[in-house]
Amino acid sequence: MDKNPLVTINLVVLNAERYVKLCLDAVAAQTYKNYELNILDNASKDSTVALIKKHGIKHKLILNEKNDGMWLGQEKLLSHSRGEIIVFLSVDVLLSADFLENAVKIMGSDETIGALQGKIYRWQIDNGRPEYTKIIDTCGFEIYKSREILNRGHGAEDRGQFNKQEEIFAVEGAVPVFRKKAIQDSLLDGHLIDPEYFWYGEDLDFAWRMRLMGWKEIYDPSVIAYHDRQTTKRTRSTLIDFIRMRKTIPIFKRRLDWRNTTVTVLKNDFGWNLLKDLPRILWRQIPLLGYFLIFETPVILEVFNVLKQLPKIFRQRREIAARRKVTMGDMRSWFK
């Protein structure tokens, strides 16, 4: 890779007048200057586009006629991306000034790194200004043999517990950094993501597939950003905690979360792995489905949507299996 590679920052926005100026200010403040900025607006109805045009930062703006969601928007921006490294930026994320500089160093240190996860903290707006915290939003995804998938460190105070570079299961979708070659190598049916996902789980599905294609995904604490996450603020610790947190999430997001995560596991996991861990999977899924049946009936209905997608899932499994470069043993080492 070139010592001073072009970095493409791709930003997808929708009704983001609350965040967009602060987000662009953070991009403009980067110490690494060899970057291009592409922005796709998903048919915003507020002043987002006007604020983008008013901002002095150099950019290319693409106006979508409808809301295609975050990751389908990112897919559209790929055709405008000239960089060797591509940052998928969310508008509610603020980059630290040395985000790009540190990311470029790490990506340049090992050509087998396909994706980079930074240490993402929580922030919020206070009287129009960013208020930063040392509460962790995410340090990437970890996966368990039960197939529960969690954001590492989510909601925890940073006490140095994530202060070393390490390989992780998968990068999270707030502001992942990708090698362009790894993206191209991990497309499925010629696409970045399955349009049926629309919103939830696309990051997990794509990152898992990238691992299957043999690319490393690395977490590094020197790559810092801040995310004002609008869903969960921390992981649950008890059943009561779980129920309270579920109630704070809109029901359509809960539906997408369960459906898309289930489809992702069925699509990307080895069949023998699933059978080997079936007792752990059922131990988690049976009570969860029982809870949905009693308290969240719309979520349980997503079982039928998963069943409807099975022919497509099996076809995609065959395509992924024909291309994957890891063994079942490699994958088992990813599970906790």
- pLDDT surpassing 70 at residue 158: yes
CA dihedral 226, 230, 231, 236 (to 10 degrees): 50
Give the tens place of pLDDT for each residue, 5-17.
Answer: 999 999 999 999 9
Confidence band, pLDDT 50/70/90 cuts, at residue 68 = confident
Confidence band, pLDDT 50/70/90 cuts, at residue 128 = confident
- Please tell me the pTM assigned to this model: 0.92
pLDDT of residue 231: 58
- pLDDT surpassing 90 at residue 199: no
- pLDDT surpassing 50 at residue 285: yes
- pLDDT surpassing 60 at residue 236: no
Give the tens place of pLDDT for each residue, 240-253.
Answer: 666 677 677 778 88
